[in-house]
Amino acid sequence: MSKEVFLIVGLGNPGEEYAHTRHNAGFDTMALLEKHYSVTLGRKMLQGLLAEITEENRKIVLCMPQTYMNRSGDCVAQLMRWYHCDPSHLMVIYDDIDLPPGRVRVRRSGGPGTHNGMRSIVETLGTEDFPRIRIGVGDRPDGRDLADWVLGRADPETRESMDAAFQKAADTAAEWVEHGMDRAMQLGNRQEASRGKQS
C-alpha cells in the first residue's frame, strides 16, 4: 500500500544575502521544521533542497525551492509530479505584507495577492486550491519601495515577534500533517478567534 504524501514548502530566496529577510519567512520556518522532524534539508533535487520523513502510513517532504522567489512554481510543480501529490496535500508557507508582523493566518485556498512566489505557484499549478500558512511581515512605510522592504530585515523588537510566528507556523504545519486542516486552522488562527474575526 502506498504511503500518503504531504508536501510542506517554505518560500524564500537562496543565498546568504537574503537570509532572514522578510521575504524569507518561509525558509526561517523550514529551519524549525528541520528541528521538529530531526532532519536536514540537504538533498538537492527538483530545483529545491529537500528532506523526507517516512512514517508508518505517510511520507512528509520538506522543501525550500532554490529557484528564487518569482519562479517558485517551477520547483513546486516538479515536486507535485514526482511525488504524485494532490494539491490538497501541499502546504505553502510564505511572508505576507498584508498581515501585521508576527501574525499567522492559515487558509485552505485563495488567490496569491501581491506575492510573486505564490503567483508563480498558482500559475504553474493552474489552481488556487491548496493550503497555505501566511506569516505577517507588515507593509512598507509610505514611500518605501516594496522590493526593498521585503528584502530587508526586521528590527530586533519586531524580529522577536517574527521568531514566535515562525514557531507557530512550524507547529501548525506539523499539526496539519498529523491531524488535518481543521485542527491546523484552529491552531494557526487561534489569535484571531478572540477578536471575533473569520479566517
- In the residue annotation, 23 being an active-site residue is answered as yes
Q: What is the pLDDT of residue 173?
A: 98
pLDDT in tens, 5-37: 999 999 999 999 999 999 999 999 999 999 999
State the pTM of this model: 0.93
CA distance 90 to 85: 7
Residue with cell 501566511: 134
25 exposure class (CB count in 10 Å sphere: 0-12, 13-18, 19+)? buried
Q: What is the pLDDT of residues 118-160, one digit of tens each?
A: 999 999 999 999 999 999 998 888 777 878 888 888 888 888 9
Which entry of 23, 36, 115, 179 is annotated as an active-site residue?
A: 23
Q: What does the pLDDT read at residue 198?
A: 41
Query: Which pLDDT score is estimated for 88?
Result: 95
C-alpha cell at 61: 517532504
The answer on pLDDT for 193 being more than 80 is no
Domains and CATH numbers, the chain: 4-193 (3.40.50.1470)
Q: What is the 3-state secondary structure (H, E, C) of 49-105?
A: EEEEEECCCEEEEEEEECCCHHHHHHHHHHHHHHCCCCHHHEEEEEEECCCCCCCEE
Question: Phi, psi (5° rounding) for residue 103?
Answer: -85, 140
How much is the pLDDT for 1?
56
